[in-house]
Chains A and B, each alone.
Chain A
Amino acid sequence: MAIVSIPTAVATSERPVKNRRINRTRLPAALALLPTALIVLVVYIGCMLWTVRLSFTSSTLLPKLDWVGFAQYSRLFMNDRFLVSAENILIFGVLFISGCLILGFMLAVFIDQNVRAEGVFRTIFLYPYAMSFVVTGVAWQWFLNPGLGLQKLVRDMGFENFTFDWLVNQQMAIYTIVIAGLWHGAGLTMAILLAGLRGVDSELWKAARIDGIPTWRVYLSIVLPLLRPMVVTATVLLATGVVKLYDLVVAMTLGGPGIATEVPAKFVMDHLFERNNIALGTAAATVMLITVVAILAPWIYAKYVRPQGRPA
Chain B
Amino acid sequence: MRLKTRVSAYTLAIAMISSSGAFAQKAEVLHWWTSAGESASVKVFADQYTKAGGTWVDNAIAGGANARAAGINRIVGGNPPAMMQFNTGKQFDELVSNDLVRDVESKAKAGKWREIMPKPIVDATVRDGKFYAVPINIHGQNWMFYNIKLFKDAGVEPPKTFPELIAAGEKLKATGVIPLALGGQPNWEHNLFRAVLVGNGGADLFRKVYGARDQKAAKSPEFKEATELFGKMRALVDPGSPGRNWNDAAALVITNKAAMHFNGDWAKGEFTAAGQAAGKEYGCTIVGKEPRLVIGGDVFVFPVTKDKDQLAAQDKLADVLLDPTTQLEFNKKKGSIPVRLDVDVSSMDVCAQKSAAVLKDPANQVEAMELLSTPNFSGAMQDAVTQFWNNPSMSADAFVEKVVSAMQSAS
Contact = CB atoms under 8 A, between A and B. Distances in A.
Interface of A: 58, 60-62, 75, 78, 80-81, 138, 141, 145-148, 165, 167-168, 170, 173, 252-260, 270-277, 279-280
23 contacts: A60-B374, A62-B95, A62-B98, A80-B387, A138-B245, A146-B239, A147-B240, A168-B242, A253-B242, A254-B185, A254-B243, A256-B184, A256-B242, A257-B184, A258-B389, A258-B390, A259-B386, A270-B379, A271-B376, A273-B69, A277-B411, A280-B376, A280-B411
B238 interface: yes
B120 interface: no
Contacts of A252: 243
B379 A168 contact: no
Interface string B42-57: 0000000000000000
B334 to A, nearest CB: 22
B375 interface: yes
A174 to B, nearest CB: 13
Contacts of B390: 170, 256-258, 260
A81 B402 CA distance: 12
A168 B239 contact: yes
B240 A60 contact: no
Contact of A276 (B185, B374, B391): B374
A257 B65 contact: no
The number of chain B residues touching the other chain, given as a range, is 35 or more
Contacts of A254: 185-186, 243
B72 interface: yes
A274 B238 contact: no
A276 B243 contact: no
Given A167-B242, A168-B240, A254-B243, A81 B65 contact: no
Main secondary structure of the interface of B (DSSP, over half): helix
B65 A253 contact: no
Interface of B: 65-66, 68-69, 72, 76, 91, 93-95, 98, 184-186, 238-245, 374-376, 378-379, 383, 386-387, 389-391, 405, 409, 411
B387 A259 contact: yes
B185 A78 contact: no
Complex A-B, nearest 7 residue pairs according to Cβ-Cβ distance, in ascending order: A258-B390, A147-B240, A257-B242, A275-B379, A168-B242, A257-B390, A61-B94
Contacts of A167: 242-243
Given A145-B244, A276-B375, A81 B383 contact: yes
A276 B76 contact: no
Contact of A60 (B242, B376, B383, B387): B376
Contacts of B185: 254, 256
B120 to A, nearest CB: 21
Given A256-B185, A259-B386, A273-B68, A145 B240 contact: yes
B346 to A, nearest CB: 38
Nearest to B378: A275
A60 B411 contact: yes
Contacts of A277: 375-376, 379, 411
Contacts of B65: 273-274
Nearest to B100: A62
Nearest to B94: A61
A248 to B, nearest CB: 12
B243 A168 contact: yes
Contacts of A258: 386-387, 389-391
A57 to B, nearest CB: 11
Instruction: Name the residue among A168, A273, A276 with the largest chain B CB count within 10 angstroms.
Output: A276
A269 B304 CA distance: 27
Contacts of B376: 60, 271, 275-277, 280
A285 to B, nearest CB: 15
A258 B241 CA distance: 12
Contacts of B68: 273
A80 B239 CA distance: 25
A146 B240 CA distance: 6
